[in-house]
Structure 1
Amino acid sequence: MCFQLCDVKGSYVTTDPQGLFITECRDRYFWVSVDVGFAGHVPRFEAVVENGVHIISEDHAPMCGYTLNNLNGRASLRASYFSCHTENQNDSNFLFKLNVVLTDHTGIEKKYSLTENCTLPVDWSSKEIICEEHYIEVGLVKAGNVNPVWYAVLLLLIKTIKNGFSLYLHFLDAMSIADARRMGYMLDSTPNRVVFRSAYNQTHSTITEIDRIAVEVIHATVFFRQKWAVVMLDTVAYLSAPSSFDGVILHWRTPKVMTPLVQDFPGFVSRSIELGVDARLLDEATRKAMGYVLGDDGQVVQVSVPFGAPGGSRMSLVENNVYKESYKALLCYEHIYSHVFMDDNETETRHRQLRVMETPLVPRIPFAIDETVPREEVFTVYLGSFASDVELIAIKLNENNLSVTDAIQQHYLITKIPHINGTHGFIIKVPFEDKSVNRMYLGEGLLQYSVEINYTLNIIERNDTFFHHVSVVAHVNDAFPPDVTAFCTAQSIIFRINHPKQAGLWEVCVGHQALTSDLSRLKGYILKNDSQSMTLEVPLFTSGYIYEDITLRNFVGTFEILIRDSKTLEIHKRTTKNCYFQTEELTVCSTDGMMTVVATTTKTWPTVPPSSTTLLDRRCRPKATDETRVMFSFGVDACGTRLMLGDGYIVYENEVISDGGVIIDQESAITRESKFRYLSIYETSKYVKIELGEIRLIFENKKNSDQLLFFPSEYFRLTVRCFYTLDSVKKVFTSRLFEGPGFGTVKITDTTGVKGLY
């Protein structure tokens, strides 16, 4: 993270191969971090010395200069360079020997040894005051003048000083180091410095106000014998009041000048004020980039930290499906100043405060950002931001419920987006053409896509589930249905459909069926495709035509193609082409149950006069005739039409028949009702009649003729049929209405069995 890179004090990092431990030598302390998730349990730290180990417990840590933390899934230890059990080499090199004890899920402990040698990167100031999370530590160089204010006290206490140190707490008598430790104070001597350490809220600390800011003060004086002189060092440690939160920003105020520390104000010189986080200082550019604000009005230093700023940690909680968070940041504040005494001696003080700034639980309603670019035809939706302990476990796209695993397997793109402040969000991509996306054509080339996304999220450690709903809409312009042109040929209608800009948005239909290569082959259409357009040729009499205005001369053939939304199947464009075709022969089965037949009666010999034809019901005569053709138009429930059921079809059948109009002798005319199963021959002076079953032949009786002519009394029969699919039938036995036209067939039947006789 950025603040690691910006450690202005020059720390370095070492990491074990598995990434379980991270250790760093920082400017004033040694830091160890352990991955709790990998370890399974919060680890135990031990300080290793020659005669054994010392457990670093919560109670033991403040007195000995240790700070324990467990944040963001990692347990950490900060150890002051002057902490107990640390090997100190001339106050510049510090050797740490630690054990990290991990307990796995079965209760078995594993111990890992860590050894780190840290070199001081920045020289010590004359006086260093560090206000840690749980303790105050003051370090002073073993040199300097005796403060005249305390000279009288020194005379009273000098007799109590033997070999070593004595500690004097204000308002109390002097005490030995042993007595001080029993009271919770630590006093130690290093090669060049004296170190005093105390926990907060001790009996002898006081609360006072400086510039209307409450501070905790511990004021102590250390006496020690140096050669043949007694040296007195005055120590003052203080900690400012806690931070405040206004719902958006954390605020912290501290006096710029601490009067207990600065007794001669005219000699006070402020050198620098710096701010950092996570116990490390930041350079100014990085601090500003991370949102930390440091202000100074001359008397009070003001610090502002936005909720969720980098370097802090967030904790999540759910109450009544309301996602809430608290935010915590370990603020690092340092003020370096000098104090010039009347004798021109100058001492430098480095005063550092490590303050935990924490908010109460705050509702953090997730926010969605629609990052969709319509021309990409993909919904891109960001949802955030969440603390590190929140995971996405499922999504619901309209009515399609999916776990995250299933969604990824179905090729939805779900990405976790980490942020510099330790939070993260999620990006979901859903193609416009996905089955879960709603689509609506608004007209004028404007197309609307929409999707409802319901997120299911979970707080990992608490197993608290909560939900969030997002509705997104996108519009695509210039999404017109494709242009269609049509023209007629002698035997077909040809449609040309330009390819639309939005591929896959529209589909061409014939009736209720999408036009595909398979459908074209099945129906007998001719379909061609190129990069610019699609061409459909519909030959005459193939499925889908409607025939109107039929005469013996010509008729109108109509064919329609539809453009519909390929997803919703809503029709958005109809292209109908009417063409005149020359009438030759046809059979039309219309949706209103009318059969129209145009047939040629000259395909047999002798030819049949068209005007002599009828249907099975002899009362049904032609609508029109010419020299060679006849046209009938009748209902499927009239003119003797027969109804039959076929495989998936209803079949209506009738016949065009003719008796030729031949009657040789009125007195001996042979009726159609006669049926003979044997051969009979009758002869008169005028004709010869031969009957064989249903076949009747009449010949002129010309004894001396060299040829015989035959005139069968029934020699022309044309069977016509209309086929309607069963699923197109609306009202078969009432009004004879059909969803679509049927198709017809014509079959010529030779009833004589004789082609000619000479």
Structure 2
Amino acid sequence: MTIPCTMKVRAIKIILCILLLCATLSTPTPVPVGTFRSECHERHFWLFVRSGFLGIMSRFDVQDHQGVHFLSGRKATECGYTMLFNPHGDLVFRASFLACHVNNQGDSEFRLKVWLVTRQVNGRDLGYPFLLHCSAQWPWGFRELVCEESYMEVSINGPVPAALHSGQEKKEVGKSGMMFHRPGHTKEEVRPRTMTEASALGYHISESGSRIILRCPYSSPLSYTIKEKGVELEVVNATILYPHQGKVLAIDATVACSMNEATVDGTHLLWPVPHVLSPLVHGRFRDRGMRIGVETLALSESVIKDRGYEINLRDGVVEVSVPFGAEGTHIKSGVLEGQYSQSLSVDLFYMHQWEDDRWPLTQHRSFRFLKTAYVPRTPILTDNTISSQKLFSVSLGVFPPDVSLHNVTGGREGDALSWVQVPYPNGSHSYQLHAPFSHSSVLQKYIDGGYRRYTLPLTFSLTISPHGEVFYHNATIVSDVQEQTAPEPPRLEGKCTERGLLVLLHYGALERSWELFIGDRRLDWELVEMGGFTVETEEDYFSVEIPLYSPDMTYEEVSLQGVVGRLEVSVVDIDTLKVENSLIHRCTFRVRELLVCLPEGRMVVVTDTSRTIPPTQPKHTTLLDPSCVPQETDSVRALFNFSMDSCGTIATVEGDFLVYENQVLFPKELITTDDPPSHRDSPYRLTIQCRYPAIDTGIVSIEHPVHPTFALSPMLPLKHTQREASRSGQYVAVVCVAIVVMGALIAATLKMLCCPIKITCTRKVLMVKQFIVYPTRGKCLN
């Protein structure tokens, strides 16, 4: 038998192609069960390949009686193939029953041989063959349209009987032409184009069984867009010029697809599509129903309801609504401006069929991988705390698989807490955390009504794979538990020290915030610096020592027995402003020498006359006015209490100060029997001064000698000088006292002196922030 030359060449090409494929592909190793999955859905073959099986590069080839064909991107679009990755990372292969190289048997049985070729790390290719077989599940419509991911397709029940020889079919198609119509085109522009011209523009015409197919990519040169009910449509208005029985038939091959993306309405994905696609409807429109599916699964009305999906018709627009997290959807996590966010995606199938005056039945199918923008989502925190068991129980989530919890910290110090992950059948998960009320991270305080409040501040640190984005979720869990007995309130205690008065604040059992008041002034750093206070914290109490010379000390009595200082202290609850406890404490401070300048213009002086040789008798001393004698004396000291405008006091002005000066004198007792006369006592003179700012005399000052009976630090040192006044051995003691500066100047000085103080402790601590007291159990606060 002689084979024509053209047939020889064709046969050689087929043999070489098969040999080349076999030579380049290695024998595949056994494949794990579940790696591949094939299904038939509507008018398409489906093949799924698990992501873990794919090599560094994968492709699909198809094989028919003519050989093996490589599916490039362009060829896949022209021939009706779709390849994409789903949200799980699996490779999805989808082929139309009317695609090139499909064996169509009477428009009812369809077979396709596919090769999956994967390139391994070592550079070798492995080929896996699949023979896909599907039957038509639904009767064919007279016209069927498909809106795929990368192409548009229309197929029409052609005028050529299905029994016609395939060679004759190809011959007829080869003689076909096309015309395209666009808004605004003139008759001259709407000219017939040959199949070669149309193919060069991306419009591919073929026949399969009894159907004529036009397929083209989106945004093709002769397409245009319109708005239909606010939804953008891409339209190709085409006419196929089909020769048949000596005539040329004009077949309407117009195709239109919705181009809009999904939007978000609260917790739902929305996808609208016009109910009537006007470029495809002629005459009276008669709806014949619609259905939806997810991937290869068609959803019945009951399944749609169970999953929470909705299909609504409003104002001529069909709106498909899919809730976040519904079965069949995929959630991808992200971080948007520091906040946890989610994007919902669904591989949606939508089919609508109708009749009109031109077409007995039109079926319109859309395959859309819909994806929303990232929408901020606040993680759901559920409080399952069991107060009766004094146990915090908290759950966070549900989260998709790409979210993982890194750590959980609690309390002000950020103690790490343990948690457990709770998985769910759909791949999502949540996190649970348990902590007893006695945990160191739990804050406690007593509130009104006999309740104790337990508070657990939480910070969740979570990461998102695969890029490691981090986000945080803060929450505070509160539980109030009624106490059996009222806790001990805070208690103030006063003690006398050598320096002044010591106030102890015992925390008691109350875990709440207080402020300490000295008189009517809140204890803060300015007051501490101005008054020279000493602040300390211990395990169970907080202490502050107020010196005798502090401006907040009240002097009730000055006598030879000492100075009686009084201090009023109170503890005030910050939240309620209720005085929790108060204290009035008095201390008597023994002094040997003392000068007090009172704001009402009086001086109180205690002087020691025992330092002269021989000692001076205190009861015989006077002021400049000899009539001003001591108010009180003992064996070595004399006390004077007098007004500054009496007793011979001399007032002068020195700069911005008023200076009041007087002297304590001891008159000489002369012995006249001697010649010349002599005296038995040593002369004694003590100069005393009070200096007041000229614009403010409302200030109290106490001054002490350099070596008093107890250690004090006066504002300005008292000066004692000794000198020989004459050869007769006269002793003169001079006291020069510079009295306090103005309150405003003190405040200004304290602002420069104020500095932070770090306090450390063991079990209970004191956080000092304007001396607000926060006693807590566990750790120190900053």
Q: What TM-score does the superposition give when structure 1 sets the normalisation length?
A: 0.51
Q: 1:256 aligns to what? A: 275
1:695 equivalent in structure 2: none
Q: Which residue of 2 aligns with 1:579?
A: none
- CA shift, 1:279, in A, is 6.5
Determine if contact 1:36/1:43 at 8 Å carries over to the other structure: no
> Residue 365 in 1 paired to residue 378 in 2?
yes
Query: Helix, strand or coil for the counterpart of 1:124?
Result: coil
Asked if structure 1 preserves the Cα contact closer than 8 Å seen for 2:160 and 2:210, the reply is no
* Partner in structure 2 of residue 290 of structure 1: 307
* Among candidates 253, 263, 266, match of residue 245 of structure 1: 263
SS of structure 2 residue aligned to 1:287: helix
Cα distance in 2 for residues equivalent to 1:456 and 1:18: 38
> 1:337, CA displacement in angstroms?
0.8
Q: Counterpart of 1:63 in 2: which secondary structure?
A: helix
Say whether 1:20 aligns with 2:35: yes
Does 2:239 correspond to 1:221? yes
Q: Give the equivalent residue in structure 1 for 2:180.
A: 169
Q: Which amino acid aligns with 2:372?
A: T
Looking at structure 2, the residues matched to 215 and 309 of structure 1 have their Cα atoms a distance apart, in angstroms, of 28
The alpha carbon displacement at 1:326 in A equals 2.6
Distance in 1, Cα, partners of 2:69 & 2:160: 35
What's the offset of the Cα at 1:453? 3.9
- Give me the whole-angstrom Cα distance separating, in 1, the residues matched to 2:450 and 2:395: 28
Q: Alpha-carbon deviation of 1:218? A: 0.7
1:347 is paired with a residue of what secondary structure?
coil
* 1:294 to partner: Cα distance: 1.9
Post-superposition offset of 1:356? 3.9
Which residue does 1:415 correspond to in 2? 422
1:465 is aligned to 470
Secondary structure in structure 1 of the residue aligned to 2:254: strand
| Structure-2 change in CA distance of 1:114 and 1:227 (3 Å) | same
Deviations 1:43-71 (A, max 9, x none): 33222334543333444332221222222
Within-5 A mapping of 1:42-121:
43-70=58-85, 71-104=87-120, 109-121=125-137
2:142 counterpart of 1:126: yes
Contact map agreement 2:392 2:437 (CA 8 A) in 1: no
C-alpha displacement of 1:200: 0.9
**In structure 2, what is the Cα distance between the partners aligned to 1:125 and 1:175?**
28
CA distance in 2, matches of 1:416, 1:167: 58
Distance 2:121 2:438 in 1: 44
TM-score (norm 2): 0.50
Preserved contact between residue 437 and residue 454 of structure 2 (Cα < 8 Å): no
SS of structure 1 residue aligned to 2:197: helix
Could you tell which deviates more after superposition, 34-43 or 215-224? Answer: 34-43
SS at structure 1 position matched to 2:138? coil
Determine the C-alpha separation between the residues in 1 that align with 2:50 and 2:438.
Answer: 41
Distance 1:395 1:18, change over 3 A: farther
Which whole-Å CA distance do the structure 1 matches of 2:217 and 2:104 have between them? 23
Aligned counterpart in structure 1 of residue 363 of structure 2, from 350, 356, 363: 350
Alignment of 1:468-507 (within 5 A): 468-474=473-479
Q: Contact 1:98–1:115 (CA<8 Å) still a contact in 2?
A: yes
Report the CA distance shift for 1:391/1:222 in structure 2 as closer, same or farther (over 3 A): same
- The answer (yes or no) to whether the contact 1:43–1:75 under 8 Å persists in 2 is no
Where 1:274 maps in the other structure, the secondary structure is strand
Equivalent residue letter for 1:457: L
Name the aligned partner's letter for residue 366 of structure 1: P
Q: Distance in 2 between matches of 1:82 and 1:451?
A: 64
Q: Which residue of 1 aligns with 2:291?
A: 274
- State the SS of the aligned residue for 1:180: helix
Opposite residue 26 of structure 1, the aligned amino acid is H
Structure 2 stretches lacking a partner, 5+ long: 1-29, 162-170, 182-188, 487-782
Distance 1:213 1:223, change over 3 A: same
Q: 1:108 to 1:382 in 2, by over 3 A?
A: farther
1:460/1:259 CA distance change after superposition, 3 Å? closer
Inter-partner Cα distance in structure 2 for 1:472 and 1:331: 41
In structure 2, relative to structure 1, the CA distance for the partners of 1:425 and 1:402 (3 Å cut) is: same
Q: Does structure 2 conserve the Cα–Cα contact (< 8 Å) formed by 1:440 and 1:449?
A: yes
Give the SS at the match of 1:83: coil
Aligned mates of 1:207, 1:125 — CA distance in 2:
26
Letter in 2 for 1:180: A
Aligned-partner Cα distance in 2 for 1:295–1:107: 52
Give the alignment of 1:251-650 within 5 angstroms. Answer: 251-265=270-284, 268-278=285-295, 281-297=298-314, 299-318=316-335, 321-340=338-357, 347-374=360-387, 379-396=392-409, 398=411, 413-417=420-424, 419=426, 424-430=428-434, 432=436, 438=442, 450-474=455-479
The unaligned stretches of length 5 or more in structure 1 are 1-14, 146-159, 482-758
Q: Using the TM superposition, give the Cα deviation of residue 446 of structure 1 relative to its aligned residue in structure 2, in angstroms.
A: 6.2
Deviation at 1:425, TM superposition (A): 3.6
Counterpart secondary structure, 1:257: coil
Once the two structures are TM-superposed, the CA of residue 188 in structure 1 deviates from its matched residue by 1.1
Kindly indicate whether the alpha-carbon contact (under 8 Å) linking 1:36 and 1:42 is maintained by their aligned counterparts in 2.
no
Distance (whole Å) between structure 1 residues aligned to residue 102 and residue 389 of structure 2? 62
Closer/same/farther in 2, CA of residues 112 and 431 from structure 1, 3 Å limit: farther
Paired AA for residue 264 in structure 1: G
TM-aligned CA deviation for residue 349 of structure 1: 0.7
Give, in whole Å, the separation in 1 of the partners of 2:384 and 2:34.
Answer: 36
Assess if the C-alpha contact under 8 Å between 1:379 and 1:432 holds in 2.
yes
User: Which residue type is aligned with residue 262 of structure 1?
Assistant: V
CA contact (8 A) 2:62 2:71 kept: yes
CA distance, structure 1, for counterparts of residue 141 and residue 445 of structure 2:
75
Alpha-carbon displacement from aligned partner over 1:440-488 (angstroms, at most 9, x marks no partner): 596999676554443332222212233323333445669889xxxxxxx
- Residue 199 of structure 1 deviates from its aligned partner by 0.8
Contact kept, 8 Å, 1:447 with 1:479, in 2: the verdict is no
**2:42, 2:136 within 8 Å by CA — same for their partners in 1?**
yes
Equivalent AA in structure 1 for residue 258 of structure 2: S
Structure 1 pair 376/255, CA: closer, same or farther in 2 (3 Å)? same
8 Å CA contact 1:278–1:312 kept in 2: the answer is no
Residues 383, 425 of structure 1: 8 Å contact kept: no
String of CA shifts for 1:54-94, please: whole Å, max 9, x gaps: 33344433222122222232221221111222222222222
Distance 1:413 1:57, change over 3 A: same
Contact 2:415 2:441 in 1 (8 A): no
Contact 1:256–1:298 (CA under 8 A) maintained in structure 2: no
CA distance in 1, matches of 2:297, 2:79: 21
Verify the 8 A CA contact 1:317 1:324 in the aligned structure 2. Answer: yes
Q: CA RMSD in A?
A: 3.7
Q: Identity over the aligned pairs, expressed in percent? A: 29
Distance 2:484 2:241 in 1: 89
Q: Per-residue CA shift, 1:125-148, capped at 9, x if unaligned?
A: 111111112211111112499xxx
CA deviation string 1:391-447 (max 9, x = no partner): 2333335568769xxx5xxxx53223455xx7x341214253785663759699967
* Contact preservation (8 Å) 1:72, 1:388: no
Q: Does the CA-based 8 Å contact 1:394-1:401 persist in structure 2?
A: no
> How far apart are residue 297 of structure 1 and its match?
3.8
Q: Secondary structure at the match of 1:43?
A: strand
State the shift of 1:193 in Å. 0.9
Instruction: Measure how far apart 1:198 and its partner are.
Output: 1.0
TM-superposed CA distance for 1:271, in Å, is 0.9
Partner of 1:184 in structure 2?
202
